Structure 1
């Protein structure tokens, strides 16, 4: 297991700056997702860690050793790409052992490692098949096995699930997470999919325009984004302008809400409040207590297990997501209640 650090890393391609500056600490045995929109620099960051690109400035360290200019073949890293790049004329086992054969690894050691890794990735029964006889998920497991058999100190994956259908992506996410935890290998996973990052990673590094915007645990990133841009990228749809008081009151167009004093970190002044749609109670009778907003249901979308309601409150539209154990009619007068701990405030100058 290897600790990875990026210190003041920058990457220029001529006059274009792909990565302006990134500082990142990845603990030994940790799975970190590099998350961001297309073109933000996440793959460039991965390629620098792998040794496929050399930083223009800054340093990359493996276990405190500077490897910034060490070539890829000397870094003991493994790469899994979006495209499987399997040899179509080779069976599963020959594809998996290929890397060891070109390195001149003794035959007995190749056979031992092959049996071990085929068990790990659950491919024993497919070992004599060719890639054309495999499903997308099975081909991706072959690609992972081909990388893991070389025993890399750091495993890197560049959008490896992008070519799979929705159901198979979910299955492969669980497979990769269980495999990573079983092996305890330091893993860096590039994705533009927020759900994928939150389900897989111990921590998520969000990159915007070549800069590290936030680096946090998935739940903290989702519930406590450090900017409106992060909140919007993570799927928040209830973001409202508000005046924040020193006592932790947030006054918006639809009324005043009490923030959780234990988690409020913003100073008083103009800001935004974030209300998670799944954390709002939609009530048909007015309840007692604080943080209650009156409104009218303007729209309803049924998604099977859940229902999305749009509720007009004081001129603002608030989205509420709840389980489909009932259906509230459009035009119904309702009350929304949200606990202080489910409200997050962000200063406009954050």
Structure 2
């Protein structure tokens, strides 16, 4: 609706400052021509909106103008209360602040929206970690979060999976990510005595598990992410790169309906993308699944028992047959 779009333009300019018509159009998912018309409508309504021409131009609000719009829709109020996940907030040391903020927000809502927000909190609970995952102790998480926020270089002793396992690193933290109940810090190496090197190519950021930091010191050296760094976009690229490096082989299989239902998320996605009905066994499905390693595939497929048959490659099929024969021999009655 046009009215909500006008409000969004006001809030965007209020929070981000100067924005071009093209930037506003992208945010609002409308045409630039529509933005021009909306800006004219705001000006006609008396909003002190100013437009600068030229390559560096754009729209901005004048004279410290700030909208006092505080209205929330029902869905917005519900989403705000649902988005406050208490576990991660408490891990970051923000549990009390989150509770106080939600209390203030609830008190400011009109009675109808307050009731709907309370129903949302009563009926929905977000539990991010995996079902069988135990809570991991992350003793240095508050310190890492503070260093990310203030832009301070970290000196850490870090435990990794390959030799040498325990290494010392100096890191320029760019951001924190919570994935499946586990915290990661995205950081670039900070080699030498200066956290911010002379202008030049930035070292590629890497991902470190915060729970694998054994010792930590927050230095007084300041640094910031490189201009234009987008944490969410970087994480998405890193995740896809990890998946590509993780799954370097494939297996052709046929699956029973029960086997199909027991697949992990990655294998289920592969079946959804390319699975076809098996021409020989009614109700079964043929698919090509990603394989991390032969050992991983043997363990994962044997866990499905008789609800999966590996058709290829021949080496994997032979390993599963040999392992299954050894298991049968050991359990012979």
Structure of higher CA gyration radius: 2
* TM-score > 0.5, shorter chain as reference: no
- Give TM-score scaled by structure 1 length: 0.21
Greater strand share, structure number: 1
Greater helix share, structure number: 2
- Give TM-score scaled by structure 2 length: 0.22
